[in-house]
Each structure stands twice: as structure tokens, then as C-alpha cells.
Amino acid sequence: MLRIENVTRRFGSKVAVEKVDIDIPAGQMVGVIGRSGAGKSTLLRMINRLIDVSEGTISFDGLKVSELRGQALRDWQRDCAMIFQQFNLVPRLDVVTNVMLGRLNRRSTVQSVLKIFSQEEQMMALKALERLDIAQTAMQRAGTLSGGQQQRVAIARALMQEPKMILADEPIASLDPRNAQVVMDSLRDINRNDGITVITNLHTLDTARNYCERIIGMQGGCVVFDGTPDQLTTDVARQIYGADGLDEAFSEAMTSTSIEPANKPKRKRKNAADIVAANQLGEAGVSLPN
Ligand SMILES: Nc1ncnc2c1ncn2[C@@H]1O[C@H](COP(=O)(O)OP(=O)(O)OP(=O)(O)O)[C@@H](O)[C@H]1O
């Protein structure tokens, strides 16, 4: 059980997340929706401890996540895998090596520096790629894959962490409709078959409705809805998206990934995502080939 108790996050005088109080039992698939700036990413980043809470407590099965330091914090970040909108692969490395990087937090520094992966780890990586239906790309450089393929590699890398929970920060925002569906299907499959809790930020109402058993709606940093897809009525959507967001909220045409134009401009890259990838590699002493 993930317990978020009275959690607030401020950036200077700006309150990004305010007094959020929710419990997420193991095995749920949860969608977090809301307009841009509602606080969705900040909430996920606090759970993963990319950023600290300003007030309140986050705990997991009794472990006080919001207070962890050092190795205990790294262990938590291994148990709580994160997937980002921009995939965060190392483009110059081949796909299978990218996937094996998911093992970094489970290995000694020496093994990591020398980039020694056991046969078992190599098999595990190939199985993860097979599961995501992209084993044929194993030896390709990650940067040569399509966006949808890269996101599947990122999910395979997350699986290598053998996580208890997967946090996905707008995992389909940069993808065309077909790839968006494949990625969401993969997350649902992992949730259902492996029992891994999935919490995903989504900017499309219908995707949240279609894939998530529980939807959390945020507005101005606060949770304004927490319920099932059936309970997400028009009135509730109005509350989440606000008066000037009604078109976005109600028009399935505007929110549907199934008909979202493939050439829609990419949303801005999240700096935290880049930093985390760089840190993971840097901490492990992995230097990248040119
Ligand atoms: N590092 C930061 N420094 C200052 N303000 C920040 C920082 N990170 C987020 N904010 C602010 O906090 C608020 C919530 O941002 P957040 O990124 O969590 O929203 P979001 O719902 O994920 O939006 P989006 O869908 O656009 O990513 C916004 O007003 C944002 O400008």
C-alpha cells in the first residue's frame, strides 16, 4: 500500500501540490489527470523521490519513503521504476544494453563500471524485450528506433528493476495513436499479469477511462476527484478541467489518443527526467562510447 498523507510541495511561493491525501493499494492501475500545471508530475516525482515533499509523508508498506536517504533511497528508486514522456534511453547504446541498465541499482559498482552483465541478466533483458514484442531490435542503437519502440524499451528497462510499482509520467504524450495504444496495452498487461501497481499521468480523459480502474483528478495542486471511470461524470470533468478547459474535457475528439494528429508538436522535455538518467549512469560509473 502506498500512502500519501497530507503532502504539499512548494516551489518558492508557488504551491504545486497541496495537501494531497490518498492511499493506493498494491496492484491498482491508477490514472492521474488534470490540466497542464495541475501538479501531476510533481506528485509522481515526489513518490519516486526525484524531489522532496515540503510537508506531509509518503510511505510504502510502512516504509517512510519521504524520509529515505543514501542506499535506502536508491533501493526505493529501484523498487519504484519511472517511465518518462521522452523515454530517456541512451541513444548511442544498443537496445539490449539500455534494457540491462535497469539492473544498475542491483549490482556492485565494479560490475557496473566494467559493464559486466551476467548471462542471466542478458537472458532477462531479451525476455523483457520479447514480452514487449521488440526482441528483433535488440542489437540496434536505441536512437534509431521509433518513439513507440523506444518507450517499449524504456518499459523493458523498468521491468529489469523488478519493481513493485511503475510510475509513468505522460508515457504516451509524444506518441502517435497506434503506438500510444501499444504502450498503454503493455502497461495494462504488466499491471494485470504481474500485479505491479501502475500510476500514470495522462492528459487524455478517454485513455484514463479506458485503461485505469481508478482515476485521480487534480486541479491547482489539489485532488478534486478520486473514483472509478464510471464516476467521472461531465460535472466532475468540468471541475477538473475548469471552465476554459471544457472543450478539452468534453470533446473526445480533442482528447482522444485514437485520433490525435500524429504531427502534433512534441510537449516540452522534462528536465528531471534527463537528470535522473544522467545520475543513474554517472553514479554507476558507466561511461558511454562515442
Ligand atoms: N522545478 C520547479 N520550479 C518552479 N515551479 C515548478 C517546478 N516544477 C513545477 N513547477 C510548477 O508547479 C506547478 C505544477 O507543475 P507540474 O509539472 O507538476 O504540473 P503537471 O500537471 O504535471 O503539468 P504538465 O502536464 O504540463 O506537465 C506548475 O505551476 C509548475 O509551473
- Judge whether residue 272 has pLDDT over 80: no
E strand segments, the chain? 2-11, 14-24, 29-33, 55-60, 63-64, 80-84, 165-169, 197-201, 214-219, 222-227
User: Of 13, 14, 54, 274, which is best to mutate to test ligand 1, by the most ligand atoms within 8 angstroms of its C-beta?
Assistant: 14
For the entire predicted model, the pTM comes to: 0.85
- 42 Cα nearest atom in ligand 1: 18
Which amino acid appears at position 199 of this protein?
I
Q: Which residues pair with 34 in a beta bridge?
A: none
Distance of CA 283 to the CA centre of its chain: 21
CA of 274 to the centre of ligand 1 (A): 16
- 218 Cα nearest atom in ligand 1: 21
Task: Write the DSSP symbol of residue 192.
Answer: H
Reported as a single tens digit per residue, the pLDDT across 209-231 is: 999 999 999 999 999 999 999 99
Reported as a single tens digit per residue, the pLDDT across 21-36 is: 999 999 999 999 999 9
- Judge whether residue 56 has pLDDT over 80: yes
Top-level CATH class of 2-282? Answer: alpha beta
- Judge whether residue 52 has pLDDT over 90: yes
User: Of 8, 20, 32, 40, which is best to mutate to test ligand 1, by the most ligand atoms within 8 angstroms of its C-beta?
Assistant: 40
Q: Report the pLDDT value the prediction gives residue 260, as an integer from 0 to 100.
A: 37
Grid cell, residue 266, equals: 512534441
Q: Report the pLDDT value the prediction gives residue 225, as an integer from 0 to 100.
A: 96
- 203 Cα nearest atom in ligand 1: 25
Q: ipTM higher than 0.90?
A: yes
Q: Report the pLDDT value the prediction gives residue 282, as an integer from 0 to 100.
A: 37
Of the listed ranges 116-120, 224-228, 230-234, the one predicted with least confidence: 116-120
CA of 40 to the centre of ligand 1 (A): 8
Q: Name the most confidently modeled range: 181-185, 234-238, 255-259.
A: 181-185
pLDDT level of residue 38 (50, 70, 90 thresholds): very high
Residue-range domain boundaries for the chain = 2-282
Give Cβ neighbours of residue 143 (< 8 Å, ≥ 6 apart): 89, 91, 92
The alpha-helical segments, DSSP class H, found in 28-172 are 40-47, 70-79, 95-100, 109-113, 119-131, 147-160
- Judge whether residue 249 has pLDDT over 60: no
Q: Report the pLDDT value the prediction gives residue 110, as an integer from 0 to 100.
A: 58
71 CB neighbour count, 10 Å cutoff: 9
CA of 153 to the centre of ligand 1 (A): 27
The closest residue, in CA terms, to atom 4 on ligand 1 is: 11
> Which residues does a 6 A CB cutoff place in the pocket of ligand 1?
11, 14, 16, 34, 36-42, 203
The closest residue, in CA terms, to atom 25 on ligand 1 is: 36
Q: Report the pLDDT value the prediction gives residue 192, as an integer from 0 to 100.
A: 96
pLDDT level of residue 114 (50, 70, 90 thresholds): low
CA of 169 to the centre of ligand 1 (A): 12
The alpha-helical segments, DSSP class H, found in 171-231 are 177-194, 205-211
